[in-house]
Amino acid sequence: MLEIALFTISRGSVYALVAVGFVLVFSVGGVLNLAHGSLFMLGGYFTYLFHEHVFGGRWLLLAIALAVAATCTVAALLYAVLLHRRLQSGSYVMVMSLSVALFIEQCLRACLGATSTGVPALLPGSQVLLGVRLLKLEMLLFPLAAALLAALWVFLHHTALGKSIIAVAQNRQGALLVGMDASAVVGATVVLSAALAAFAGAVVAPAIILVPTIWSYWLVKAFAIAILGGLGSLPGAVMAAFVLSFAEVVTTFALSDQFADLVALLVIVLVLILRPSGLVAVRSL
């Protein structure tokens, strides 16, 4: 049981970082960004490119920082060039963001090939914790996620931009009436969500198979968590991330990894049928 708990915490920490950004954009912009999984993937790929090809296998922390910045730049361009003028059309945003995700996949496939890419871990090796052997990287995930999510909460509630994000999420028309630039706020939110996803991708890349198609896997995870937690609720997304993680880990131990990958899809179907509002029915940031 202890082994299940430890693996649930490490996996759920990554899920929370990815899903919170996805939910944040939906809360503020009211749209589903289907390129969100690609932002996670780009975090890993940019880390690889900077670390291996720019810095010659050195300065991993700097490579991660630049990878996050590069991914945020991609997200900003995606919003400014393709999305912001027709943000009110949910179908347009979903089709366009999905097209961008597929385009990024094909670019990576053409430039780097379809095989997996290796990225070194921030903390290499493994460690026995309470009788359970874990990668040191896995032990690092929860404190990193907790620190980032706490920083996000402070940012949203104690900075001018953060309060603007909350205001637009709660009442877009009211925010416009008091002179807020809602479009700029949504753009800032897209970049912020990209930073969370890219950081998660950069840190987790050593422990996963980094291939050009992996974006769809993480998009499904983010979507399932958003549905389970309640679209528009950041606390619900964090809670749902660990619930989904627990369900997958238990399924892995009881059956196999192949069945665990079906859990997210099953969650989407069951929640939409039985409780469409999710675990937390009230929108909250």
57 vs 16, residue with greater confidence = 16
133 has a pLDDT exceeding 80:
no
Cα gap 230→235, rounded to integer Å: 9
pLDDT at 282 over 80: no
Contact in structure between 178 and 21 (CB atoms under 8 Å): no
Q: How many helices (H) and strands (E) does the chain have?
A: 12, 2
Tokens 């690889």: give the residue: 48
Domain boundaries, the chain: 16-212
Helix (H, G, I), strand (E, B) or coil at 56: coil
Radius of gyration from C-alpha coordinates of the chain = 18
pLDDT, position 122: 73
Distance (Å, whole) CA 202 – CA 135:
16
Q: What is the pLDDT of residue 197?
A: 95
Q: How many angstroms separate the most distant Cα atoms in the chain?
A: 58
pLDDT computed for residue 259 by the predictor:
79
- β pairing state of 126-129 and 132-135: antiparallel
Could you tell me which residues are beta bridge partners of residue 126?
135
Mean pLDDT of the chain: 87
Confidence of residue 103 (pLDDT cuts 50, 70, 90): very high
pLDDT tens by residue, 47-86: 999 998 888 888 889 999 999 999 999 999 999 998 888 8
Of residues 217 and 2, which shows the higher confidence score?
A: 217
Three-class secondary structure of residue 117 per DSSP: strand
From residue 279, give the alpha-carbon distance in Å to each of 233, 239, 264, 283: 9, 8, 15, 11
Tell me which residue of 154, 151, 155, 216 sits closest to 17, measured CA to CA: 151
Return contacts of 132-139, CB within 8 angstroms, 24+ apart.
132/2, 132/3, 132/6, 134/6, 134/7, 134/10, 135/207, 137/203, 137/204, 137/206, 137/207, 138/6, 138/7, 138/10, 138/207, 139/10
Between helix 136-158 and helix 182-204 the angle, nearest 10°, is 170
For 141-192, the pLDDT digits (tens) are: 899 999 999 999 999 999 989 888 888 888 777 766 677 788 889 999 999 9
Q: pTM of the prediction? A: 0.90
What span, in angstroms and rounded, lies between the C-alpha atoms of 25 and 193?
A: 7
Cα 39 from chain centroid (whole Å): 8
